[in-house]
């Protein structure tokens, strides 16, 4: 091997910090995209502490830019007890405390971090039902695609079950909805969360009549009112439209801020963010713009977004800008571009900055 004596020497510690900055930026994008606001970043950072230590120790971990599928499952589990991602079907089920990732509850938490046997049995029972309903909805219109398999894996991981209980759920074959057993007491809040998650799973790529049949059959088994079921459906469809607009704005913001990194990180981070945020039914149009390198035209396209979504979009753009640990000169450029992007988002952008140590 020939060594270039004039090549710049890279300090190992500096290189490790650079990798850490990249990981923090990717995690910040995920945390903000979850829909929980910038407040989720602190808790997510604590949950990811061991991963950051491993990066500083020179270990190669899954990344958003590289191994997106595995990284998403890891991140979904990490954020589950903080704020289950708004884009994940069955996120509301996790909010009904159907997860062991939060540890012990009540007085037990004073003496142990381990969940009680009662909690374990409850999460196993209700988590298994939610997984089977989710898989039944996905399988209704054909074989599961990789994204659907990843969604199921992320949800199962977020349950926090022991391996002996979780492993069968990863590989279980779809169960016909007519054969699906709904046993034990089902709280009204859980039933509503389960059906909302089923509608979200179906509507993510457009509602198929076969998927709708699965959902209505489950609702009947739960004695859930037909009118309330329609309300859930309409609410999910409306939220997906909002998600589409916010996702499009986030992708445009990344491409605008990193316009001098295209091709390169400007394309990669924009495409991965689109995969996370934009419903599958709307994604092809956005991905085509990213792939073709179409010029970003701002033209006040995002004025209809809520203040919270504007904060999210600008926070994601700022996190993407920090991905390379840029120089002081590029920081000034990013700030100028951010000021052109919108007049909102200082909170999210500021937290993204502090998140990466700038």
Per-residue pLDDT tens over the stretch 40-61? 999 999 999 999 999 988 888 9
Structure confidence at residue 258 (pLDDT): 85
Considering the chain, what percentage of its residues have pLDDT values greater than 70?
Answer: 82
Is the pLDDT reported for residue 358 higher than 80? no
- Closest-CA residue to 81 (of 73, 91, 89): 91
Is the pLDDT reported for residue 224 higher than 60? yes
Structure tokens belonging to residue 241? 């439209």
Structure confidence at residue 116 (pLDDT): 83
Rg (CA), the chain: 22
Position 300 confidence tier, pLDDT thresholds 50, 70, 90: low
**Domains of the chain: which residue ranges?**
12-355
How big is the chain, counted in residues? 358
Position 18 confidence tier, pLDDT thresholds 50, 70, 90: confident
Question: Per-residue pLDDT tens for 237-288?
Answer: 999 999 999 999 999 888 888 887 767 788 899 999 999 999 998 998 888 8
Structure confidence at residue 30 (pLDDT): 96
- Contacts of residue 39, defined as CB under 8 A and 6 or more positions apart, other chains included, come to none
Distance CA 273, CA 184 (A): 40
Is 36 exposed, middle or buried, given 0-12, 13-18 or 19+ CB atoms closer than 10 A? buried
Structure tokens belonging to residue 202? 């179906």
Contact 122, 112 (CB under 8 A): no
Considering the chain, what percentage of its residues have pLDDT values greater than 90?
Answer: 57
DSSP state for residue 64 in the 8-state scheme: S
Structure confidence at residue 120 (pLDDT): 92
Residue pointed to by tokens 């034990």: 184
Position 353 confidence tier, pLDDT thresholds 50, 70, 90: very low
Who wins on pLDDT, 149 or 303? 149
Is the pLDDT reported for residue 355 higher than 50? no
pTM: predicted TM-score of the whole model, two decimal places: 0.84
Structure confidence at residue 164 (pLDDT): 94
Distance CA 19, CA 12 (A): 11
First to last CA, the chain: 38
Structure confidence at residue 113 (pLDDT): 59
Contact 44, 78 (CB under 8 A): yes
Distance CA 183, CA 320 (A): 46
Who wins on pLDDT, 294 or 147? 147
Is the pLDDT reported for residue 352 higher than 60? no
Distance CA 333, CA 42 (A): 27
Distance CA 314, CA 320 (A): 10
Structure confidence at residue 302 (pLDDT): 66
Structure confidence at residue 263 (pLDDT): 76
The helix-helix angle for 163-171 and 146-159 (nearest 10°) equals 160
Structure confidence at residue 356 (pLDDT): 42
- Closest-CA residue to 218 (of 197, 234, 239, 241): 197
Is the pLDDT reported for residue 9 higher than 70? no
The helix-helix angle for 40-47 and 12-33 (nearest 10°) equals 130
Who wins on pLDDT, 25 or 261? 25
Is the pLDDT reported for residue 328 higher than 50? no
Distance CA 44, CA 50 (A): 12
Contact 76, 157 (CB under 8 A): yes
DSSP state for residue 177 in the 8-state scheme: G
Of the listed ranges 9-23, 177-191, 223-237, 266-280, the least confidently predicted one is 9-23
Structure confidence at residue 285 (pLDDT): 85
Position 69 confidence tier, pLDDT thresholds 50, 70, 90: very high
- Contacts of residue 90, defined as CB under 8 A and 6 or more positions apart, other chains included, come to 130, 134, 155, 193, 194, 197, 200, 201
> What's the mean pLDDT in 166-170?
95
pLDDT, the chain, mean: 84
Question: Per-residue pLDDT tens for 115-142?
Answer: 788 999 999 999 999 999 999 999 999 9
Contact 34, 40 (CB under 8 A): yes
């Amino acid at each position: 091997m020939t060594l270039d004596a004039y090549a710049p020497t890279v300090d190992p510690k500096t290189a490790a910090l650079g990798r850490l900055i990249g990981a923090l930026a990717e995690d910040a994008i995920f945390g903000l995209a979850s829909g929980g606001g910038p407040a989720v970043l602190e808790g997510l950072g604590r949950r990811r502490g061991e991963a950051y230590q491993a990066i500083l120790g020179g270990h190669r971990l899954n990344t958003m830019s590289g191994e997106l599928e595995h990284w998403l499952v890891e991140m979904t589990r990490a954020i589950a007890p903080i704020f289950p991602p708004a884009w994940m079907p069955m996120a509301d089920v996790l909010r009904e405390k159907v997860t062991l990732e939060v540890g012990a509850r009540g007085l037990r938490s004073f003496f142990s971090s381990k969940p009680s046997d009662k909690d374990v049995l409850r999460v196993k029972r209700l988590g298994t039902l939610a997984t089977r309903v989710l898989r039944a909805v996905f399988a209704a219109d054909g074989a599961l695609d990789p994204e659907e398999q990843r969604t199921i894996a992320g949800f199962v991981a977020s349950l926090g079950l022991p391996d002996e209980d979780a492993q069968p759920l990863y590989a279980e074959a779809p169960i016909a909805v007519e054969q699906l057993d709904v046993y034990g007491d089902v709280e009204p809040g859980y039933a509503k969360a389960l059906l909302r998650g089923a509608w979200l799973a179906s509507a993510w790529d457009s509602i198929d009549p076969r998927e709708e049949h699965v959902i209505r059959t489950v609702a009947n088994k739960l004695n859930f009112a037909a009118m309330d079921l329609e309300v859930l459906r309409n609410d999910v469809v409306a939220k997906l439209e909002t998600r589409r607009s916010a996702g499009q704005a986030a992708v445009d913001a990344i491409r605008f801020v990193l316009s001098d990194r295209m091709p390169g990180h400007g394309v990669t981070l924009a495409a991965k963010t689109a995969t996370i945020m934009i419903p599958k039914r709307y994604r092809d149009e956005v991905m085509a713009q990213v792939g073709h390198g179409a010029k970003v035209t701002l033209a006040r396209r995002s004025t209809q977004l809520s203040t919270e979504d504007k904060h999210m979009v600008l926070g994601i753009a700022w996190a993407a800008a920090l991905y390379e640990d840029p120089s002081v000169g590029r920081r000034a450029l990013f700030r100028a571009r951010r000021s052109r992007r919108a007049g909102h988002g200082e909170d999210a952008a500021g937290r993204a900055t502090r998140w990466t140590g700038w």
